[in-house]
Structure 1
């Protein structure tokens, strides 16, 4: 393949990866999907491809849908241990972030809700809301009628709007929220944590990668007790983390996040979903397999001073 063809593909790689990530919720699967698309591009009769961007978008979308429909993926996700893979603020895989819809489409809440949609509904929603494709263009990508694309989009929007739990938070507010959360959680006083949570607050955790299924918590009192316990350092927790990590405020998938890092390695993330200036949901992840991509990005960045230098 000539250099120009390679460069043309590479120029759109980040956009294709961000599309695949929104469809699959996994950075590793998104990268594999884009690489598969590159092989298709390599083998194609490129002289007959009038609009390469449209052709590659169609290939990536349909490769991602094939993955979603595969028996292996359905089994893994039905097992009750699936969460979207977290991405650090600024990761190119997060893709476009000019509109509210684009920013929301990569939050853990929306990615989790997308998981409940049929694959075609998911694809239509992502192409329309995150990438601003017209229904005519989406129909061509997915081999649908324009009317069917509109119906899928309407159902997906209604489903997500009905279950969406949080709102947007700017970077400065995110830092303040994380600082208050860490201060309350490390104080050992449950009532301080309860005051930060909504009455219907929920949380989910991968149990630091030690649980076969996700752990779910409901209600401010239960969440506060669990979070207070999680922030209490013990020799066993330090052994699991590989030492005494620093605790940082960050932004992950567009939301405030508590990041625990040790020796330039992220060992845990708690992503906070905010509604009406309170924490409505939390997503805790410490399983190493879920933190591969965030670790790659963490190593490349400079960081603010930790909120807690050594936990």
Structure 2
């Protein structure tokens, strides 16, 4: 095996981790794939003979690429306060199989990704690489032209925001599904009081309709406000199909074989704490929803 074949094999071994880093950094599956491919193009032309830890080195390469992509994105964004929902990862729900509980351990919920979107690129890099992938601050600091102490402070600031705005989901997937089903039933029946009971008092609803809408994302807060909005689209819930959305209980709403929305739920403390709804037709078309939208296919 020559050196290039060896490097190709090692890169493919690390690809799942690298894609995980890029998805958490960018919140976009397609951009994550682009970042990993860009990393390969750079790595394939580099001299790796002096690299002791290839996995760590590849992680920093992908991190730098994502950092540049985030900075370019912020420069292009006309309204920096507009919240964009990340691309959800959707797969058919396997049922109450206890072995599938492991899915949650390695998943990043939509609510968490939304909070990550509000961080500065440097904060996001420091938090994702250190807290999610155990990269030392000594290695993160040069990527953002900061000292290790400053990098630690960036991650700490990001961590406080995440803890305050992205509640940890309940670990029991079957319990999550029961709470989501109760929410859907109450919304379908137009039962505001039942909805308020199943919603956390500080529940948040985010709905991203895409660039064709006057406001890309609508954000509503408070159980009664969210409940009032839920009953307005409760008529669609008979078309809701259970799915895993970023490893948690969610639904895909399908009518006449066409996906109308993907809804991710964050169930925390036995109540719905956050609902993230993607209704952007263009982005829905790009999602792999085989087996959920009436087309033949397997897991996404």
Deviation at 1:63, TM superposition (A): 0.5
CA displacement 1:75-134 (0-9 Å, x = unmatched) = 1662725111111259xxxxxx9899964xx22222122222221121111111111223
Q: Which residue number corresponds to residue 35 of structure 1?
A: 37
Q: Which residue number corresponds to residue 177 of structure 1?
A: 179
Q: Which stretches in structure 1 are left out of the alignment for 5+ residues?
A: 91-96, 234-243, 304-311
Is residue 214 of structure 2 the alignment partner of residue 202 of structure 1? no
CA distance in 1 between partners of 2:63 and 2:74 (Å)? 19
Aligned counterpart in structure 1 of residue 289 of structure 2, from 292, 295, 309 = 295
Aligned counterpart in structure 1 of residue 64 of structure 2, from 53, 62, 73 = 62
Partner SS for 1:6: helix
CA distance in 1 between partners of 2:68 and 2:36 (Å)? 13
CA distance in 1 between partners of 2:117 and 2:209 (Å)? 21
Q: Which residue number corresponds to residue 96 of structure 2?
A: none
Is residue 9 of structure 2 the alignment partner of residue 7 of structure 1? yes
- 1:293/1:302 Cα in 2 relative to 1: closer, same or farther (>3 Å)? closer
Contact 2:180–2:249 under 8 Å retained in 1? yes
Is residue 235 of structure 2 the alignment partner of residue 232 of structure 1? yes
Deviation at 1:207, TM superposition (A): 3.5
Q: Which residue number corresponds to residue 276 of structure 1?
A: 269
Partner SS for 1:46: coil
- 1:265/1:2 Cα in 2 relative to 1: closer, same or farther (>3 Å)? farther
Partner SS for 1:112: helix
Partner SS for 1:45: coil
CA distance in 2 between partners of 1:275 and 1:217 (Å)? 18
Contact 2:176–2:248 under 8 Å retained in 1? yes
Aligned counterpart in structure 2 of residue 216 of structure 1, from 216, 219, 222 = 219
TM (norm. structure 2) is 0.82
CA distance in 2 between partners of 1:17 and 1:274 (Å)? 26
CA distance in 2 between partners of 1:73 and 1:31 (Å)? 21
Q: Which residue number corresponds to residue 307 of structure 1?
A: none
How big is the alpha-carbon RMSD for the aligned residues of Structure 1 and Structure 2?
3.1
- 1:301/1:157 Cα in 2 relative to 1: closer, same or farther (>3 Å)? same
Deviation at 1:284, TM superposition (A): 0.9
Which 10-residue stretch deviates more, 15-24 or 291-300? 291-300
CA distance in 1 between partners of 2:66 and 2:5 (Å)? 27
Deviation at 1:152, TM superposition (A): 2.0
**How many corresponding residue pairs?**
285
CA distance in 1 between partners of 2:106 and 2:147 (Å)? 24
CA distance in 1 between partners of 2:297 and 2:146 (Å)? 42
Deviation at 1:142, TM superposition (A): 4.8
Partner SS for 1:199: strand
Contact 1:16–1:34 under 8 Å retained in 2? yes
Q: Which stretches in structure 2 are left out of the alignment for 5+ residues?
A: 93-100
Contact 2:104–2:171 under 8 Å retained in 1? no
Is residue 241 of structure 2 the alignment partner of residue 248 of structure 1? yes
Q: Which residue number corresponds to residue 258 of structure 1?
A: 251
Contact 2:240–2:254 under 8 Å retained in 1? yes
CA displacement 1:228-264 (0-9 Å, x = unmatched) = 221214xxxxxxxxxx984222221233212224677
- 1:71/1:270 Cα in 2 relative to 1: closer, same or farther (>3 Å)? closer
Aligned counterpart in structure 1 of residue 189 of structure 2, from 170, 173, 187 = 187
Partner SS for 1:2: helix
Deviation at 1:44, TM superposition (A): 1.2
